[in-house]
Amino acid sequence: MEMLNGISIAFVTVVLTSVIGLLAWIATSVVDLKTDTAVIAVKVNENHKMITTLWEDYVDRSGNGNLAWLNEATDIESSSKEKIY
């Protein structure tokens, strides 16, 4: 009977140690995830500021008519046999 108690105590100790280790791993993973998310949020904000500046410049230039003409017809024929409209 004493041997059974020793085995059950050892089993409970192993299970509790495993559960505590799992909880510690989950906690560190959540902290890493929050850190990564914060870094990504800062990068997104910086990109938004940069793109906003570029977009405002584009809008200003398009109002001045200072853009390349992209809707010009070309004389290049496609190699497909079907006509695409």
Termini Cα distance of the chain: 89
Note the pTM of the prediction, 2 decimals. Answer: 0.48
Task: Please calculate the CA angle 53-58-63 and round it to the nearest 5 degrees.
Answer: 130
pLDDT one-digit tens code per residue, 1-20? 566 677 788 889 999 999 99
pLDDT at 51 over 60: yes
